[in-house]
Amino acid sequence: MAAASPATLNEVVIKHRSSLHPRPDVTFAYGTAGFRTSADLLDSVIFRVGLLAALRSKKLGGKVIGVMVTASHNPEKDNGVKLVDPMGEMLHSSWEAYATQLANALSAEALIAALQQIILAAEIDLTVPATVVYGHDTRPSCPGLVKALEDGLESIGVKGIAAGLVTTPQLHYLVRCYNTQGTKEAYGEATLEGYYQKLAAAYTTLAKGRHLLPALTIDCANGVGAPALKAFSSVISHDILPLIITRDDTTTRGALNSECGADYVKTKQQAPPGTTLVPYQRYCSYDGDADRIVYYYADDKGVFHLLDGDKIAGLVAGFIMDLVKEAGLELEVGVVQTAYANGASTEYLTNKVPTTCVPTGVKHLHHAAESYPIGVYFEANGHGTVLFSPTALSTIASHPTPSPALANLQAVTEVINQTVGDALSDMLLVETVLLHRKWGPGEWDAAYTDLPNRLVKVFVKDRYAFSTEDAERKVVTPEGLQAGVEAIVGKTEKGRSFVRPSGTEDCVRVYAEAATRELADGESTFSRRRALNEAKQAND
Ligand code: 16G
Ligand code: MG
């Protein structure tokens, strides 16, 4: 057991160390993706995140807290940081304001005062020893920022466990493993080796004896997914999982997320330049921190088809429902989506399973998925996973009648990273379903046809002038905007459109879909102009 820490903050040390990490003249906000901005502005923020992570661990009785330094799909010059709570979930939203408060304290004295306020407000016992595990992606700015984090941890008397270069979902996995080891909820061995072995064992169970599919080509966004995938492929037989790893250059400056990766493919609706799509072969793209994945393929006419998070949700939910039934279990499967889910996917899913729509951001989806015995959640952009409730897990584990379906279901609970969306683990799940169904991408895609859609960014003076309700499907302010959107949508076949302020960029996003490409484009152009006009009025 670690020795108890002193009951008070060492203010001299914190002030001194803080002066080595001066705060730039910028206002920071802990948003959906934690703090994320240009890397050269983040040194002070990350130092202070070290302090906050230590307090969070103390508050939770010494549970291990995670800190991940990454800016996901953002350009290489950016960076970011987010905290991970004990079961591997996102930082509880009640603490986001504390993070913002610390990041914005104007001086070393103000920082101490903010810390004291948080200690008081959250009733934190400083004598509780804290543990923080931290990791980072491949950005060149990471080593310096990790140093700032370590300074923060040291100045509050916490040593920290360095996980090194990891994908975001690996860090989430490690946090959960540390906090559950030795309990009946033990999640796995708290090492990267443990992570790879767990996934490899589960996938081998699911794949063995099946007819192999042709190799899958993976675009790793020139990010941390590349070394992770290579490490994984070295522990699993190539006969079980033939892979072609591309965009794995993590050393050339500027390569990360540049014209590749899940965000590029989803936004541009095209494969990374230079990729020759062999008809009906499977391709997928990870994002820069490997917590998102999209699949795609070309048909025999060379037309590109995207298999995004919605398609993955449909594929996976159907498969799990079938396994549950075949195993003779009664466990409800539910699906959680956001307003971005294509209307065709929502129609397809609601005819099969209970579905819920929640605001954008993993924490909302994760939370809603927890209310189902088996909750499948995916954002259209490829963030997602499957959660099995403790009751579902014990029902599966204790079912008296063994069957192949039961064994497969059990392995599915192991192959999926239940802490957060995980490109590598999601990929294994998709591959599993395709193997079992004997499907290529064309058969998978046949479930429904996406409605043509457009997503545009609108730069406005004040995105905070925009507020929404009904899981972001209705814009409340600026007043009158929703009525304008509805007037047009009402006249459009299969029309749907919404306007929401971005949580990660200084802009407003406008989504529109309709029965035809022409209609969808027309609507989004209209909505964008309209949003712009309204925004201007709101800001005048
Ligand atoms: C963040 C969210 C992601 C969401 C995106 C929306 C997490 C871990 N990530 O990246 O889920 O889709 O923000 O961005 O929650 P936006 O608010 O700028 O549209
Ligand atoms: Mg990401």
Instruction: Write down all domains in the chain, each with its CATH number in brackets.
Output: 11-165 (3.40.120.10), 194-304 (3.40.120.10), 309-445 (3.40.120), 453-539 (3.30.310.50)
Tell me what pLDDT residue 532 has. Answer: 54
Helices (H), 60-165: 96-104, 108-121, 142-155
Residue with tokens 């406008």: 510
Ligand 2 centre from 395 Cα, in Å?
33
Contacts of 311 by beta carbon, 8 Å cutoff, 6+ apart:
295, 345, 444, 445, 447
Report whether 5 belongs to an annotated binding site.
no
Tell me what pLDDT residue 529 has. Answer: 58
User: What CA–CA distances, in Å, run from 146 to 218, 232, 264, 367?
Assistant: 29, 25, 27, 29
Would you write out the chain's pLDDT as a tens digit for each of its 540 residues? Answer: 456 788 899 999 999 999 999 999 999 999 888 999 999 999 999 999 999 999 999 999 999 999 999 999 999 999 999 999 999 999 999 999 999 999 999 999 999 999 999 999 999 999 999 999 999 999 999 999 999 999 999 999 998 999 999 999 999 999 999 999 999 999 999 999 999 999 999 999 999 889 889 999 999 999 999 999 999 999 998 889 999 999 999 999 999 999 999 999 999 999 999 999 999 999 999 999 999 999 999 999 999 999 999 999 999 999 999 999 999 999 999 999 999 999 999 999 999 999 999 999 999 999 999 999 999 999 999 999 999 999 999 999 999 999 999 999 999 999 999 999 999 999 999 999 999 999 999 999 999 999 999 999 999 999 999 999 999 999 999 999 999 999 999 999 999 999 999 988 889 999 999 999 999 987 445 555 555 555 555 544
Peptide bond into 478 cis (omega under 30): yes
CA distance linking residue 367 with residue 422, whole number of Å: 17
User: What CA–CA distances, in Å, run from 98 to 118, 123, 147, 493?
Assistant: 7, 13, 22, 46
Residue of 32, 456, 507 to test ligand 1 pocket, by largest number of atoms within 8 Å of CB = 32
Find out whether 132 and 153 touch, Cβ atoms under 8 Å: yes
- β-sheet bridge partners, residue 286: 293
Sheet order of strands, 453-458 included: 453-458, 508-513, 496-501
Rg (CA), the chain: 23
Contacts of 417 by beta carbon, 8 Å cutoff, 6+ apart:
169, 172, 173, 385, 425, 426
The protein residue whose alpha carbon is closest to atom 1 in ligand 1 is 33
Work out which ligand 1 atom sits closest to the CA atom of 291.
8
Ligand 2 centre from 415 Cα, in Å?
19
**Cβ neighbours, 10 Å, residue 156:** 24
Work out which ligand 1 atom sits closest to the CA atom of 381.
12
**Cβ neighbours, 10 Å, residue 269:** 14
Report whether 504 belongs to an annotated binding site.
yes
Cα dihedral sign, 179-182-188-194: positive
Determine whether the shortest distance from the Cβ of 502 to ligand 1 is under 6 A. yes
Residue with tokens 């954008």: 360
For helices 423-437 and 225-235, what crossing angle results, to 10°? Answer: 50
Tell me what pLDDT residue 3 has. Answer: 64
Tell me what pLDDT residue 164 has. Answer: 98
Determine whether the shortest distance from the Cβ of 503 to ligand 1 is under 6 A. yes
Work out which ligand 1 atom sits closest to the CA atom of 363.
15
CA distance linking residue 246 with residue 438, whole number of Å: 25
Determine whether the shortest distance from the Cβ of 468 to ligand 1 is under 6 A. no
Which token pair is 175?
């946090």
Report residue 254: phi and psi, to 5°. 85, -5
Contacts of 302 by beta carbon, 8 Å cutoff, 6+ apart:
277, 279
Report residue 332 CA to chain centroid gap: 24
Tell me what pLDDT residue 517 has. Answer: 92
Q: Is 72 labeled as catalytic in the residue annotation?
A: yes
The catalytically annotated residue of 5, 18, 57, 72 is: 72
Report whether 500 belongs to an annotated binding site.
yes
Work out which ligand 1 atom sits closest to the CA atom of 90.
8
Tell me what pLDDT residue 281 has. Answer: 98
Sheet order of strands, 131-136 included: 35-38, 78-84, 64-69, 131-136, 161-165
**Cβ neighbours, 10 Å, residue 100:** 16
Helix, strand, coil percentages in the chain from 3-state DSSP, rounded to 5: 40, 20, 40
Report residue 147 CA to chain centroid gap: 25
Report residue 298: phi and psi, to 5°. -115, 145
The ligand that comes nearest to the alpha carbon of residue 73 is 2
Helix, strand, or coil here: 216? strand
Q: Which amino acid is at 26?
A: V
The pTM (predicted TM-score) of the whole model is 0.95
Report residue 314 CA to chain centroid gap: 18
Ligand 2 centre from 171 Cα, in Å?
13
Report whether 152 belongs to an annotated binding site.
no
Helix, strand, or coil here: 493? coil
* DSSP output for 318-342: HHHHHHHHHTT----EEEEE-TTS-
**End-to-end Cα, the chain, rounded Å:** 60
> Which contacts of 488-491 are long-range, i.e. CB under 8 A and separated by 24 or more positions?
488/523, 488/526, 488/527, 489/523
- β-sheet bridge partners, residue 37: 79
Q: Which amino acid is at 196?
A: Y
Residue with tokens 């940081």: 81
